[in-house]
Amino acid sequence: MGPFETGGTVLVAALVMIFLRAPVGLALGLAAFAGAFALLPATAAISLMSRVPYEFTASWEFAAVPLFLAMGTIITRSGMADGLIILAERSLRRLPGGLAIATNFAGAGFGAASGSSLATTVALGRMAIPQMLRAGYNPGLATATTACAGTLAALIPPSIPLIVYGILAEVSVAKLFFAGIVPGLLTAFAYGAMIYLRCRFNPDLAPRSETESDETVGWSVAAFPVIAIVILGGIYGGYFSPSEAGSVGALAAIALAFCQPGFNWRELALALAEAARQTAAILFVAAGAFMLTRTMALTGLPNALADLVQTWSVSPLLLILASSVLFLLLGMVLDPFGVMLLSVAVLLPAFERLGFDLIWMGIIIVKFIEIGLVTPPVGLNVFAAKSVAPPEIGLTVIFRGVSWFLLAEAVVMAILFLFPALTLWLPNNLL
Amino acid sequence: MNRIGRWATQAGQWLAVAALVAMMVHLGADILLRNIAARPLDGTLEVVAGLYMPFVVFAALSATHLNREEIRVDLVGNFLPQTAVMLLDRAAQLLMAICAAALAWLTASHAMRAFDIGQRIEAGSLVIPLWPGKAIVTTGFVLLAVAALVRLFGKADNGSV
């Protein structure tokens, strides 16, 4: 069998197992092992695969994952996000769709202190969805805003997907963090503009509220910009690396959380246990994908694909458009990490060969992951929004509401494709 | 086995939390000492990579599995009858138990070898043994196999630890 047949068989086997409800990490690892077993002597294949679990996780760079996840879970459990939503609501409620716009920007702010899209959606949704529904907002708009605002955490640093991409693609995580800022803010503004225009032309979607909220905004709302500035400033100033920044963020989150009413040692222990479990879930998949990357290298498929792209003189634009369609299709049926890790394993050499900047490519891939989080049938953020919405709001209503956000995403993606400098200016000039 | 499995899984989860706290504090102290007193702690990178990280990931792995928090795609679940979904889930648990047990067996030899030859990293004044980090990988896979068996033979409940 040639590289396309062997590599293709391994990939198809992994996808079939994933569709048959096997855990993604298990499916990727098992397919990788079977591939290695077919290509190498049995002892070599066993030795290769049995070394991966320790060698892969015993990583300095991956330390950022549990630490940033801990920061996010502590902030979520402490209720600090509530103040952020109240502040955003007070500033923006007089605009058409003001509460939804406020939720959207609160999502961007919360993303700066949490690397997890799901955590952001749940934290925002618990407070913002009931508030919007009480104000008479369209249920599709209220829930879709929360689901989509949560996706901003995937780009706005610190971002777990960017850390994992950086390590697997062997590019600077610090550069990726800075590269994510402009696309993240651009997406937040595009969402905000779309909500504003929809509600301006169809006021029934979001009746204007004249009553002021009487809830007080605690000082804790300042925590979000402070944590973001400390993390990015520390990395930029060379005081600590992205991995160490996670520890600074988590310790700062603990200190701020204990100043919140109701936060105690038990809550801290539960938040840390949640972060440890999430870390295990993410790195189990990443380890499976790493095994797959090694097997793919043995089959020669990624290089054969890169050769083919070069031989056929495929234009960079065509490659990126074809990949985009692939990412969108895979994002609809696979979990976001699966899409990213498979694309790194198979497509990265072709992108490299055609001279794509891997930092820009990382942002584009994570943007597609973000879109995959809200597209049916596997839209994890939509499920998260559903879990905190009233039970009478069905998934169809949320997915219908999300379709408007996808239009905004199409505009943002076109801008990012046409002007890569928007993404690369900050990392190239600051680092 | 159900009760022992759940207890062991919970113990593993709190061991992971202890490693996470140790990593957080250790890194915080190193950053502080490096930037204020220009005296970084010896071997921080090696301890974080070689000890804390394997403990955080592998000690918590079975709790993730028992809590059904593993990353999985639920696509066919909406289209297949309930019995077929249940059979697929049980097959996935059986496969997971077999693979985890096999990985526990294979990684155990690395841990034992590291212990026998006293494999270690020297970083400044610090000597870091590698066997605990390798042993937790094996332990993590043993616990994962147990968690998969608990789910295989248990009720189709939420199984939280």
**pLDDT tens by residue, B34-60:** 999 988 998 999 999 999 999 999 999
Report the gap between the CA of A132 and the closest CA in chain B (Å). Answer: 30
Q: Say if residues B43 and B123 touch (Cβ distance below 8 Å).
A: yes
Minimal CA–CA distance to A147: which of A340, A344, A409, A355? Answer: A409
Q: CA A97 to CA A117: how far, in whole Å?
A: 23
Q: CA A318 to CA A320: how far, in whole Å?
A: 6
Instruction: State which residue of chain B sits closest to A45, comparing Cα positions.
Output: B106
The residue type found at A350 is A
Range B105-131 average pLDDT:
89
Report the gap between the CA of A199 and the closest CA in chain B (Å). Answer: 34
Q: CA A357 to CA A352: how far, in whole Å?
A: 7
Could you tell me the two tokens for A277? 């479990």
* pLDDT for res A333: 66
Taking only the tens of pLDDT, chain A with its 431 residues reads 766 788 888 888 988 898 888 898 999 899 999 999 888 898 998 888 888 999 989 988 889 889 988 988 898 888 887 777 778 877 887 889 988 998 999 888 888 777 778 778 887 888 789 888 988 999 999 999 999 998 998 899 888 889 989 988 889 999 999 999 999 999 999 999 999 999 999 999 988 766 666 666 667 677 778 888 888 889 888 899 888 999 999 999 999 899 888 899 999 999 999 999 999 998 998 888 888 888 888 888 887 877 777 777 778 888 888 888 888 877 776 667 777 877 787 888 888 888 889 999 999 999 988 888 888 766 778 888 888 888 888 888 999 999 999 999 999 999 999 999 999 999 999 87
B90 vs A: CB within 8 A: no
Report the gap between the CA of B62 and the closest CA in chain A (Å). Answer: 9
- Residue B22 CB neighbours (<10 A): 16
CA distances from A145 to A141, A196, A235, B135 (A): 6, 12, 31, 46
Alpha helices in B37-130 (DSSP H): 44-47, 53-66, 82-116
Instruction: State which residue of chain B sits closest to A68, comparing Cα positions.
Output: B24
Is the pLDDT at B73 greater than 80, yes or no?
A: no
Q: What percent of chain B has pLDDT over 90?
A: 66
Strands (E), A269-412: none
Q: CA A287 to CA A396: how far, in whole Å?
A: 34
Range B116-129 average pLDDT:
86
Residues with Cβ within 8 Å of A11's Cβ and at least 6 positions away in sequence, in order, are A31, A301, A342, A346
Residue with tokens 């700062």: A252
The residue of B13, B23, B25, B27 whose CB has the most chain A CBs within 10 angstroms, and thus the best one to mutate to test that interface, is B27
B117 vs A: CB within 8 A: no
Residues with Cβ within 8 Å of B138's Cβ and at least 6 positions away in sequence, in order, are B104, B107, B108, B111
Report the gap between the CA of B117 and the closest CA in chain A (Å). Answer: 17
DSSP-derived secondary structure letter, A229:
H
B78 vs A: CB within 8 A: yes
* pLDDT for res A104: 92
- Residue B41 CB neighbours (<10 A): 18
Polymer length of chain A:
431
Instruction: State which residue of chain A sits closest to B92, comparing Cα positions.
Output: A22
Instruction: State which residue of chain B sits closest to A69, comparing Cα positions.
Output: B20
- Residue B102, judged by CB atoms within 10 A of its CB (0-12, 13-18, 19+), counts as middle
Q: CA A90 to CA A213: how far, in whole Å?
A: 7
Query: Whole-prediction pTM value?
Result: 0.85
Cβ of A23 and B72 within 8 Å?
yes
Please give the distance of CA A154 from its chain centroid, rounded to a whole number.
Answer: 3
Cβ of B52 and A63 within 8 Å?
yes
Cβ of A333 and B76 within 8 Å?
no
Residue with tokens 């630490």: A67
Please give the radius of gyration of chain A, using alpha carbons only, rounded to the nearest integer. Answer: 22
Cβ of B54 and A337 within 8 Å?
no
CA distances from A285 to A31, A65, B20, B21 (A): 13, 13, 20, 23
Angle between helices A265-299 and A64-78 (to 10 degrees): 140
B85 contact residues in A (CB cutoff 8 A) = 21
Q: CA A49 to CA A26: how far, in whole Å?
A: 13
* pLDDT for res A189: 96
What backbone phi and psi angles, to 5 degrees, belong to A402? -65, -30
Is the pLDDT at B159 greater than 50, yes or no?
A: no
B142 vs A: CB within 8 A: no
CA dihedral A21, A366, A289, A250 (to 10 degrees): -100
Residue with tokens 């249920």: A139
Q: CA A64 to CA A47: how far, in whole Å?
A: 28
Is the pLDDT at B157 greater than 80, yes or no?
A: no
Q: CA A148 to CA A229: how far, in whole Å?
A: 24
Q: CA A316 to CA A379: how far, in whole Å?
A: 29
Report the gap between the CA of B137 and the closest CA in chain A (Å). Answer: 7
Q: Are strands B126-129 and B120-123 parallel, antiparallel or unpaired?
A: antiparallel
B10 vs A: CB within 8 A: no
Cβ of B141 and A46 within 8 Å?
no
Strands (E), B23-93: none
Q: Say if residues B96 and B148 touch (Cβ distance below 8 Å).
A: yes
The residue type found at A95 is L
Minimal CA–CA distance to A378: which of A327, A331, A325? Answer: A331
Q: Which of B14, B91, B107 sits opposite A53 (nearest CB)?
A: B107
Minimal CA–CA distance to A409: which of A379, A384, A389? Answer: A379
Could you tell me the two tokens for B29? 């102290």
